[in-house]
Structures are given as structure tokens and as C-alpha cells.
Structure 1
Amino acid sequence: MFRKFRLIVVCLLSVALLLALSVQIVVPQTETGARVALDDGQTITVTASEEEQKAALEMWASREAREAAKPLPWPEVSPEELKGVGEEPKGKPGLVPGGEPDPQADIVAQMEFPEEWQALVEELAASEVAAAPQGTAAIYTSFLTNYYAQMWKEFPYKAVGKLYFQDAAGGGHYCSASVISPGSSKNGYRDIIVTAGHCLYDTSTKKWHKNWVFYPAYNGTAPYGSFPYWRGRILTAYASTGARRYDVALISLQPNSSGKEVTYYTGYLGRSWNYGYNQLHFAIGYPSNLTNGTKYTYTCVAESFNGGTDVLGMGCDMTYGSSGGPWIMRFKPYQGGANNYVNSVVSGGTPGTYTFYGPRFSSNNIVPLCTDEGC
């Protein structure tokens, strides 16, 4: 009897070991030498080597290289996700307030990056931008945003920026992203941005992108410099399913060439989770389909709706390039504190329908990501 019991225990342990090994096997790897790790089963990280950080900065150092980058197309989703209404929200709603930038940041930045600021002054003085198109009043309104100095120099607009990277084959792309945390001891107090999961990982090829560099308040120039990635984090569920509800990711950043963290210049947005589907959102991104949208941000304003379980939908005319841009709840320009909470990011949609979708921030996506990364 005892021998039979021992045999059962050994078999169970063997099965457990095989399951553990199988989890390690499915962790997607990179082709660049960056370290990939499965933390607690819920999230996966990719950490840059010093060589990769240097290569990323060199890759995106010139304006020509940045202008040649293509907006990342939206990923396809399963037919089930397109059916619409999902489950009602679960879990207790949560809020973490943001923080404002250093009051001297713009003065310091002009001394640190004089060529970028001079180019910016000359470009804005010489250019004329067409009036922003207006959406149907009953569905959404969209407008050009950080072309105007009072916007790109001010919080919360300056906390949104452009994220450049390469796909596994070496093609240059960009997404949108926003600053949401000054970090913690878990990531060495490195500042954190939030973007879409598909801006880090391609679920169709099962390959990581690479060489991410973040440019806050980007408007054709880099007024606050560039910030290479140190570590990226996606949800294990996104890597395995590609579901829109999990299409969110975090990146911890290194300081810029002046040794300053991005929050010094931009401050950081708050974040919210487990709120209902119907909220007034301001979605901000760099849409390639709108006039000068590859250079300046646009903002769509609309009430979100239930787009499926833990998926939000809202009216907007932005398409490729806006991926990863924040959906801000309780938007209040020029103020930090208990305002401006990122409640979703742009995931995708069908161009021409004037509607896009994003993961409703919840205990199943942003919470485990931030818990593991140290937001």
C-alpha cells in the first residue's frame, strides 16, 4: 500500500515538473540577445543589454530615420471579439494619481537640447497646418493637439509621446505611448510608459519587436531628448491569445543623454482600473491617416461603450500610428493630481469605421503588469 502511494506521489510530481517546463518552453524569445523572463505566470519581460540600448539610440538618433518609420498596423482579432457586448465589470475600481513635471524642465531642456528647440521654433514659424477635421457631433470630436505650444509644453499633453522601434526583420515602426509612473525599487526607480502589447510583441509571428526609444512630446523634434528602453513587459495571456483585452504593455526607460528621467520633463499621468464601460475619454495618439498626424498628436473625445468583455470602444477617426495612445478619463488640461487617469490604450479597429477599441484597464491586465513592473 505504501509503495503504491509513493508511486502515485512520484507520478504527480513528474506531471507538475513537466507542466512547469512547458510554461518555460512557450515563453517567446528575442533574436537580439535581450533577456526574456516569465515572472509569475501572468507577465513576461524583455530586458535590454547595454549593446541593445546603444543600438536603439543610434538607430533613431536622426530625424530622417524617425520620419522614415512606418506606423504599426493594427493586429487582427478573432471573430468572437468582434461580436460586441461582454461581461459586466468585476472588481473594485482603483485610481493612482499622476504627478506634474519639474517647473524648470522646459528651461533646462532648451539648454540641454538647443538644436532640437531651435529647429522646432523655425519649423513652427514657417509651417501652416490645416484646420483639424471634426467628427460627427453625436459620436466624437477630434482635433490637432500638440502643434500648439500651449499644449505640447503643458501637462498632461507633454506626457504623451512617440515610441520608435524595429520589428524582428529590422523594419522601422512607431506607436504612441504615455508616461504613467516614476517606477519603484522593483525596476530600479526607472520611469514607466504604457502602450499597446502589439507595439512590443507580434502575436502572428510570435516574435518580439526591438530597439524601443521613447520621445516625449514629439512634434517633429525631440524637445526633451530620447529615452531608450531598459525593460518591456507584456501579459502572458496576450502572448498566447492575442486578445484585445490583454493588448497593453509597459516599458521601463533609461534616462536621456543628460542623465534625467522622463518624468522630470513630463510628469506622469494617473491610471485607473475596473471602471464601467461608459466613460468620457480623451484619446491621444499619432495617427498616420490625419494631416500631419505622423508629426503631431491628435485627440478624440467621446463616450466609450461596451466593446466586449474588458474591451472599450469609442468613436474616433485615428488609425495606424495611434496604437498605444492613452485613453484618459477625468481629463483636465494643465492640472495634475486627482485628474487625467489612463483607463485604456488604443488597440485597433477597422479603418473607415470611425471607431477603435482598447483594453478596459482591469484587475486582469494593468494591475498584474504594474504589480510586477513596480508602477
Structure 2
Amino acid sequence: MAFLEKLAYLMKMRRSNRFSKFQVALIASATILVALAPISSASAKGQSEHDRIVSYWSASRLHAAKSLDYTFSPGSKVAKRIETAQPSAKVGTASITPATYSGASTGQTWSDGGLALSATGKVFFNIGASLYVCSGSVLTDSDATRSIVLTAGHCVYDNASRAFVTNFLFYPDYKSNPTQTCASTTYGCWTASALVANYGFTSQTGFTTQATNYDWGFAIMGTGGKNSTQLDATVGSFPLDVGGFTANGNQAFAFGYPQASPYSGSDLIYCSGGIAADTLNNSSTWGLSTCTLTGGASGGPWMSNFATDRGSISSLNSYKYTSSANGMYGPKFNANTTATYNSALTATTNTSVGAPAPVPAPVAAVSITGTTVDKSTLTADTSGSTGGAASSTTYQWSRATTVGGSYSNISGATKSTYVLTSSDIGRYLKVKATLTNTGGSSSATSAATSVVTGIAPVACATISGTASVNSTLTASTSCTTGSSTISYTYVWSRSATSGGTYTPISLATKSTYKLVTADRGQYLKVTVVATNMAGTSTATSAAKGPIA
């Protein structure tokens, strides 16, 4: 593996004109030897995915891809999404005439070829089933096993669907051979194995003014092209310079493949001039106020310290305003850009740099505490749950007639506590707890309780009514306690004295008793027997009398 990395590094240095033709010949010979080496399973998997993406982008799909761009109305906090299809007609390729570029271009064909042409290209990708195109450029990096393409954040991540794009393909030097097939290009095509954006961008649900401050994205490329080579070693690369623009008036060269009118999408167009902070965006981004680049140019590089055919990349095409056809705007590269780029140097999966650590989903566990006696309170205990802390918890209590039977939900029993009722006597209870946080949800159902028992009655009786012959006395049991349902039996009795011996009155066994002549001058009591499924209790009232 060390030999492969060294070889790739040497090829990169050749693109920077640091080695002689003799050294290049050695590189070519070494490449033949490397071709005979066995391919690892990881490499084979990556190559298979590369081949799938290249095959996916047929000529018809490449031509059908729409530009993906955003335009703000002055004062608006969220931009409007603009999609433009590529025109059928294509412009011809300009001849390469060195050193003919202008330092004040509002949108001209790039005719000088060189690195600006070879290392700038189109990027194609999917958002869902929709096909889109932006512009991009190759960045210099120190890793011989990967290459990095810079484009706009909105060309690697879709704020609306909160997802990274798919089937990302880079087509370098599109202008030289805009045939709409990778096989017919100058260099071939490369595909992304991972995409990297900043959380300042991915945290937004739309293309907001905040998103403009983080609108950069990096695509990690493996081997590809016509000869399974590294992209930067094949087409060259530009250094990243986050401090290349520092003040209004700094000279910038912006490149891209615009396909919205008046452009066709087939020509590399550039703007050049002094930049100025975008005062409509709190001066937090840069602007090229006379640049006429349109949809399709998004993600194309802005170069500082430009000379001949190259410069350092210090911003990129990001957004426009509806109020003017002129003007292209880009983010101010900063430490967040550097952090995102550094992550791209090692990323193997899609990454949102600076995003809070994902919250692990809870793993629910629940048990029941409390006494299984009527009128007692049971509590659902979820303290044994693991995983991420729950932001919300819901409950559902249920019961069954047997411990292993079918449990039915108890209507309204959806809190962490449940007060047992007479309906639960002789039943078994369970509770289901569902714990939720931003990482997901988890449910668990407790073990069954022991059977719920009732409370034995404690009988109590009082007598109400007028103590005179022909009046009716009533035995009240309202002071009796115990689980429902309680049944009662009654025995009325009389005595000549309040504290004497009471004799039961024949047939006086109801809750009411009508006083008769025999009761005159007597005292009456009622004895109550209270019974439920938990037991029996007897009570005798205080004496009532003497009866008049």
C-alpha cells in the first residue's frame, strides 16, 4: 500500500511540473507493474460502485440534468430554488490562445485552457429521483489515495429533504468534449465515495441567509477516469486558500458552467473583477456585482492570486438576487471551511462537520412497583432503561384475567401511575412504556403483577328516621369501607332499655323498618353483615329510642 501511495504522490507532483520526463517514464513503468497487483476486496467494492454510478449517468440523464441554484429577493431570509434545463443547442469549443484573459470579465468564454480548464468541470447528482448539475473544481491535498472536489454545499446536501445527494459524478474539462458520455470525454469521469458539508449548512431546512455563510461542500474521489487513476494526478488541482480574500477590491476570478440563459451549459465561462461584501446579507459573504454567471455555475471556484491559468480557491459561486441579472455571490471562507476540508481528508462516509453527536436512541425497560390491593397506586418504573435519555415517555396500562392471558388496554390509563379499582380485583396488570428522543423510540412491556386482591369490608351502621309508631326507620351503611361490590344483610332488634338485651324482631330483615305498636317505649338497633369477595364484617348500630 505504501508503494501505491508513493506512486500516486509522484504522479501528483508531475501535474505540478516538479519532475522530469525521465521520471514520468519511470512512473509509467511502475504503473504497469501496479496493474498486475491483486485488487483488495475494499478496492473492488469501491470500483464496483464507481462503475455503477458512471453507468447510471447515461447520455440522456446527463443532458436531462437541471441546474440547481438559489436566488434571494432583497430582504428575504430564504432563497427561491431555481432549476434550469440544459438547452439543446451547444456552443462550439473556443480555441486556446494563451494569456488572452481579462481582469474585468462580466462573463466570457475561457479561451486560455490550462489548469483552469482541466481541473474545473461539472458535477452531476441526484436529489431523490431528480437529476441536477452544478460546477466544481479539484483541490490539492496531501493524500495519495484520494482526490477532493470542491463545489457548493447545496450541490452535496439538500436542505429540504435533510439528506446528502446521491450518484455524485465529476466530469472534468467538460468544455473540450461536451459529448454527454463519460467514455468520450478528454479524461473520463470520477465518482464520489463520500460527501462532506458543514453543520452550519446542513442544520438549515432551507437555503437561508445562514446557509450562504456555509455553502461549500467537498466530494471525496477514488480512482476513476479512463485509466483508473487519481483525479488530481490526472487533471491537476488548485490549492485551497481560505484567507485569499480579505477586503473589498480584492481581485477574483470566478469560473463555472452556466446553462441558464444566455449560456448553454457547454462552455466554461469566467468572471473577473474586484469583490465587495454583500451588504444585503450583513456583509457576511462576498459579491462580484458585474458577474453574469447563471444557473449551473453553482459551486464553480473563485480564485485569488490568479495568474495565467490558475490561482488559489478562496470562495465559490453560491447565490444570486432576483432584482438583477448581474451579480454572483459566494461565502467567505474561514476556519469552518478549513475544518470541513480537513474532515474531507479522512472521511469515508457522508459527514456533517460540527454537527452535534447523534443522540443514541433509548432502550426501554419498565417494571411495576406498588401493592396489588384495591385502591392502591401502582407506579411504572423506567429507571432500568439504557441508551440515550428519553425526552418523552408514554404509558399504557392493561389487564387480563390470567397471568399469561390476553391483556386489554385500560381506557384512560396512560400515566406513569395507576390507582387500582374494583374492576381490577382478580386480574393481573402490565404496563407498556414508550421512550422517545431525537435518536428514536423504544418500547417495553413489564412483567405481570400478582393478582389484584380486594379490601375486606369494615361494616358500619347507623339508624335514621323518626322514633314514633308508624314511622319508618332506615339502616344506613354509608360509613362501611372495603372493596366494591359489598352486599348487606340486616337484622332489626328491640330492648326495653337502651343497654339491655336486644331480641331480633321477626321478619325485620330489610334495610328499612316500619315501627309498630309493640315498639312503643322500646329501643331499637340494627345489625348489618357486610360481605365482599375479600371477607365479611358485622356491625350493630347505636340504639334508637325510646319509641313514642
TM range (shorter): 0.5 to 0.7
Partner of 1:205: 161
Residues 349/326 of structure 1: CA separation in 2 closer, same or farther (3 Å cut): same
Partner of 2:400: none
Kept after mapping to 2: 8 A contact 1:319/1:348: no
Shifted more, 349-358 versus 213-222: the winner is: 349-358
Kept after mapping to 2: 8 A contact 1:165/1:211: yes
Partner of 1:261: 230
Alpha-carbon distance, 1:330 to partner: 1.1
Kept after mapping to 1: 8 A contact 2:141/2:345: no
Alignment-mate amino acid for residue 211 of structure 1: N
Matches within 5 A, 1:102-181: 127=92, 141-145=106-110, 148=111, 150-151=112-113, 154-168=114-128, 170-181=129-140
2:207 is equivalent to residue 251 of structure 1: no
Alignment-mate amino acid for residue 65 of structure 2: A
Partner of 1:373: 344
Residues 139/226 of structure 1: CA separation in 2 closer, same or farther (3 Å cut): closer
Alignment-mate amino acid for residue 56 of structure 2: M
Alpha-carbon distance, 1:226 to partner: 0.4
Higher strand residue share: 2
Partner SS state of residue 234, structure 2: helix
For the residues of structure 2 that align with 1:54 and 1:77, how far apart are their CA atoms? 41
Alpha-carbon distance, 1:349 to partner: 1.0
Alpha-carbon distance, 1:79 to partner: 4.2
For the residues of structure 1 that align with 2:218 and 2:341, how far apart are their CA atoms? 8
Alpha-carbon distance, 1:74 to partner: 1.8
Alpha-carbon distance, 1:262 to partner: 1.2
Matches within 5 A, 1:69-108: 69-74=65-70, 79=75
For the residues of structure 2 that align with 1:51 and 1:189, how far apart are their CA atoms? 17
Structure-2-length-normalised TM-score: 0.45
2:292 is equivalent to residue 332 of structure 1: no
Could you say which structure has the larger radius of gyration? 2
For the residues of structure 2 that align with 1:235 and 1:77, how far apart are their CA atoms? 25
For the residues of structure 1 that align with 2:73 and 2:54, how far apart are their CA atoms? 32
Residues 306/211 of structure 1: CA separation in 2 closer, same or farther (3 Å cut): same
For the residues of structure 2 that align with 1:207 and 1:75, how far apart are their CA atoms? 21
Alpha-carbon distance, 1:140 to partner: 5.0
Alignment-mate amino acid for residue 289 of structure 1: A
Partner of 2:538: none
Alpha-carbon distance, 1:289 to partner: 2.4
Partner of 1:273: 242
Kept after mapping to 2: 8 A contact 1:201/1:239: yes
For the residues of structure 2 that align with 1:198 and 1:77, how far apart are their CA atoms? 18
Partner of 1:229: 192
Partner of 2:52: 55
Alpha-carbon distance, 1:179 to partner: 0.3
Q: Which runs of 5 or more structure 1 residues have no equivalent in the other structure?
A: 1-47, 83-122, 130-136
For the residues of structure 2 that align with 1:141 and 1:321, how far apart are their CA atoms? 16
Q: Deviations over 1:85-128 (max 9, x none)?
A: xxxxxxxxxxxxxxxxxxxxxxxxxxxxxxxxxxxxxx99x958
For the residues of structure 2 that align with 1:128 and 1:197, how far apart are their CA atoms? 29
Q: Deviations over 1:24-44 (max 9, x none)?
A: xxxxxxxxxxxxxxxxxxxxx
Residues 353/127 of structure 1: CA separation in 2 closer, same or farther (3 Å cut): closer
Partner of 2:363: none
Kept after mapping to 2: 8 A contact 1:181/1:193: no
Alpha-carbon distance, 1:277 to partner: 3.4
Partner of 1:320: 295
Alignment-mate amino acid for residue 167 of structure 1: I
Q: Which runs of 5 or more structure 2 residues have no equivalent in the other structure?
A: 1-44, 79-88, 95-101, 180-184, 347-548
RMSD between aligned alpha carbons? 3.0
Alpha-carbon distance, 1:206 to partner: 1.6
Partner SS state of residue 240, structure 2: strand
- The runs of at least 4 aligned residues of structure 1 exceeding 4 Å deviation read 48-52, 75-82, 126-129, 137-140
Alpha-carbon distance, 1:144 to partner: 0.9
Partner SS state of residue 203, structure 2: helix
Kept after mapping to 1: 8 A contact 2:145/2:222: no
Kept after mapping to 1: 8 A contact 2:195/2:217: yes
Partner SS state of residue 107, structure 2: strand
Kept after mapping to 1: 8 A contact 2:151/2:218: yes
Kept after mapping to 1: 8 A contact 2:109/2:267: yes
Shifted more, 289-298 versus 242-251: the winner is: 289-298
Residues 266/330 of structure 1: CA separation in 2 closer, same or farther (3 Å cut): same
Kept after mapping to 1: 8 A contact 2:105/2:270: no
Partner of 1:12: none
Kept after mapping to 2: 8 A contact 1:277/1:312: no
